[in-house]
Chains A and B, each alone.
Chain A
Amino acid sequence: MPSLTLDDEILNLQSQINTLKSQLQIQTSNLLGSPSTEQLITSSTTPAAQKQNLLSRSASQHAHNQQCLYRACAGLTAFRARDPDPNAVDNGAILGLRVEIASRAKFLRPYYVLFNRPFPGSNALRVHRHTIPPSIALVGLANRYLPFPKGEGGGKQDLARFARALRREVVRYHHRLGVVADLRKAAGLGKKRGNGGEEEEEGVEREGKLASITAADAEAKQITIEWADGRAGRLVMGDDGEVVKVVAVGDNGRDRDVVRELLGGATRVEDVAKRLVSARGD
């Protein structure tokens, strides 16, 4: 069919165009960011207007590079933003906090907390908007470290401690999610979709003795484990991934043997995952 092949060709060419465009962007930013280009621009004999344009682009590229460097290395960065609401407090000045999250050798979309200063005569901050998932007790943290100023000198705020505590909670949460995913992988189960969401349809054939491993609560601190022979259990994970408690229940009440088999002296959930991998390897 000629029309089909033509459509295919168009699609093909379009994808090529897109690849080339992104290539061009990457090369442009690489060129603009390198110090030798800056020298070339200043020493060249191009018209002044063009030169100015190039220099300003180069400057903004340098600024962006620096921002990226800070973001990649620090993990916690602050920025300024504006509230678009014409009735916003403090003329719409917003302090943003960016929490960088890396998982499986990739940077995820960062989490943001945006503060404003609604209290007259005080520089005290208040969380205005944020993108922290509800599995992290942001309200509790904010009330601990950023209390509202009550009258004269009441409630001292500590943004640095708040930011540290928040980042710690966020990173812990992602590590716990990662450990649950590791456990599933180690047990040869299908990939889990989303955080705390429902699991994907699993393949019919399972290799191991375990039938299902899922996070049972919002914080991913409790893991439900189901064995293929109908036994069910629960593993309680501490804040930092240590095994707090494991209980398994079979047909005849509590089953301690299967727990011993699962743990084998492991004190951390990662060790349980390692054990599962080696058990499958045998």
Chain B
Amino acid sequence: MSRISVPTTGRLPSSLRVDPSNPAVSKILNRLSRASLLSIAVDWLDENNQSLASPYLHHSESEYDSEDEDDFNPPARSLSALQELYADLQSRKGSKREVIDRITEGDWRHGLSLYQLAMADLQYLYDHPLSQRWTAYRIAPLKPPNPDAEDDSPPVEDKQSLVIPRFHPSTFLNALQSQVPPDVKAHYSFDRHRILPLLILRIFILDSPYNTSLGLRSSAAATTFDTSRTVYIAFPDASPHVFISKPQSLSTSAASTAGGESKSLRTLIVEGVPKALSRPRQRVTLKATGLVTRNFNELLDRRGSQRTNFAGGGWSIYANEKVKESPLDTTLPTPPLSEEDGDVGEAKRRKRVLSVIERKEERERKRARLVAKARFGESGRVDDGKGLERVDIVVEDPFPDIGGTVEDGEAGDAGETWKPYVRFTLHGSHVFAGIRQLVEHGIIDGERMPGWLTGDEGVSVGAVSCGRIRGYKGSGV
């Protein structure tokens, strides 16, 4: 450890150790379950991680040297002994408290490195995938600035560009570091999501000009750690989008002041990311896409690398890769639901004994299911794991004429129209699956339901005008 701390513009090194008595450490560790704690502890003891997460080992040569009688968690003699110990802890039952004590007071009493804290934090993110709210941004290319123009007009988006932005993690990190002001220190760690095609960058920000342990341990340590924040940025593979999480403060005491600060931190990042992604003569900007959700699957479905980005709702039949549609297959496509019904002869026989009313109900039910299929396609299933948990809609249409049927927006342009301010929020574990179920049960008339209720636009925040959400006369791209 260096003896003096000089303010620098460097980043916080991963090997920097945080004192285990620090409230942030116990907060991060306490969030994890016992099984997760043990699995990351075993990871820390891996040979490859020794430079960044080495445990406190018993170093003295003689056996009877300085055995501390009061030490509940005596240091282990070797790495392999410790690995065995943790494997043993994994195999038997016990309390979480015991493991945390073992880590903070025993094997890592000399401090947990920032790398370890980052791993623990990311483990929490994997254990609780819905713990963060992500905002999806599109990376849009900008026109190269005109050298002849004298004024500092902001660059315009190059709509005709055929360049797909490329992303290189280490270059990006270097460029991002140069965007961070010198009185703020940040620790970065990249991690690949275990299942999903995502690269997650965790940024841990500390308000201190020093990048040594003094920055973490100074007399004002409590305050510096209080104002520290964690932000995640996720980069989906092969997709020109970025997902940025809402910054989170580690402490609860700073909650009152966190509002404005975290907002400014977010703007700092939203401004810094496109600069870091830009390359000479190829500048990019971030454009908000109106999708805010906690669900990664939904984000990857609507802003990912697949075909589903601009084919939501009923259009998903065009994107469904499971359907084989080879031109060499000349069998006539069967209409939907015909297979289910024609399948069972018994059902048909049973139908014959139904009364007229029951038969009518049966027909209506089938019709509602068909309509739901037509409007939602393959999307909006309860079990598809792609649920939006909150959708905010503002309706800007004039009030429809009472008496007539639901009028199109254009019909109301005759003079005075009453335009109430209507704003509503749909909440739930999977909003559009709920609407689909309502259609399937005939509560919503599926044929007259506006298109934005099927979620085909792929936004969670939007304004409706002329019965359509976002964009001029139908969405387009």
Question: A: which residues have CB within 8 A of B?
Answer: 25-26, 28-30, 33, 57, 60-61, 64-65, 67-69, 71-72, 83-89, 100, 106-107, 109-112, 114, 116, 118-119, 126-144, 194-198, 216-219, 222
Q: Which of B160, B241, B406, B456 contacts A143 (CB 8 A)?
A: B160
Contact A197 B477 (CB under 8 A): no
Residues of A contacting B309 with CB < 8 Å?
134
10 tightest CB-CB pairs across the interface, nearest first? A87-B467, A196-B238, A85-B451, A118-B473, A71-B327, A131-B307, A218-B238, A72-B327, A137-B162, A107-B326
B352 at interface (Cβ–Cβ under 8 A)? no
Contact A68 B327 (CB under 8 A): yes
Residues of A contacting B192 with CB < 8 Å?
198
Q: How far is the CB of B285 from chain A (nearest CB, A)?
A: 14
Q: Nearest chain-B residue to A107 (Cβ)?
A: B326
Q: When chains A and B are docked, how far (Å) is the Cα of A12 from the Cα of B211?
A: 67
A84 and B162 in contact, given A119-B473, A131-B307, A134-B239 (Cβ under 8 angstroms): no
Contact B305 A109 (CB under 8 A): no
Residues of B contacting A85 with CB < 8 Å?
450-451, 456, 467-468
Q: Nearest chain-A residue to B451 (Cβ)?
A: A85
B321 at interface (Cβ–Cβ under 8 A)? yes
Q: When chains A and B are docked, how far (Å) is the Cα of A112 from the Cα of B321?
A: 12
Q: When chains A and B are docked, how far (Å) is the Cα of A60 from the Cα of B319?
A: 25
Residues of A contacting B328 with CB < 8 Å?
68, 72, 107
Contact B237 A196 (CB under 8 A): yes
Q: When chains A and B are docked, how far (Å) is the Cα of A127 from the Cα of B471?
A: 12
Can you list 24 A-B contacts (CB < 8 A)?
A: A30-B330, A57-B332, A61-B332, A65-B330, A68-B328, A68-B329, A68-B330, A72-B328, A84-B314, A86-B467, A87-B467, A88-B451, A89-B473, A112-B319, A114-B315, A118-B472, A126-B474, A131-B307, A132-B310, A133-B238, A134-B240, A139-B477, A140-B160, A195-B238
Contact B307 A132 (CB under 8 A): yes
Contact B162 A114 (CB under 8 A): no
B93 at interface (Cβ–Cβ under 8 A)? no
Chain A, interface SS category: mixed
B306 at interface (Cβ–Cβ under 8 A)? yes
Q: How far is the CB of B106 from chain A (nearest CB, A)?
A: 35
Q: Nearest chain-A residue to B138 (Cβ)?
A: A134
Interchain Cβ contacts within 8 Å, total number: 165
Contact A88 B163 (CB under 8 A): no
Q: Which of B241, B304, B332, B472 contacts A60 (CB 8 A)?
A: B332
Residues of B contacting A67 with CB < 8 Å?
327
Contact A86 B448 (CB under 8 A): yes
Additional pairs, 13, CB under 8 Å, beyond known A72-B328, A107-B327, A118-B472 = A30-B330, A61-B330, A68-B328, A107-B328, A111-B307, A130-B310, A131-B310, A133-B238, A134-B164, A196-B238, A197-B197, A216-B166, A219-B164
B361 at interface (Cβ–Cβ under 8 A)? no
Q: When chains A and B are docked, how far (Å) is the Cα of A60 from the Cα of B162?
A: 41
Contact B305 A118 (CB under 8 A): no
Contact B324 A109 (CB under 8 A): yes
Contact A135 B467 (CB under 8 A): no
Contact A100 B332 (CB under 8 A): no
Residues of B contacting A222 with CB < 8 Å?
166
Residues of B contacting A26 with CB < 8 Å?
331
Residues of B contacting A109 with CB < 8 Å?
320-321, 323-325
B328-339 near A? 1/0 per residue, CB < 8 Å: 111111000000
Contact A131 B311 (CB under 8 A): yes
Residues of B contacting A116 with CB < 8 Å?
474, 476
Q: When chains A and B are docked, how far (Å) is the Cα of A33 from the Cα of B331?
A: 10
Q: Which of B304, B331, B375 contacts A84 (CB 8 A)?
A: B375
Contact A29 B332 (CB under 8 A): yes
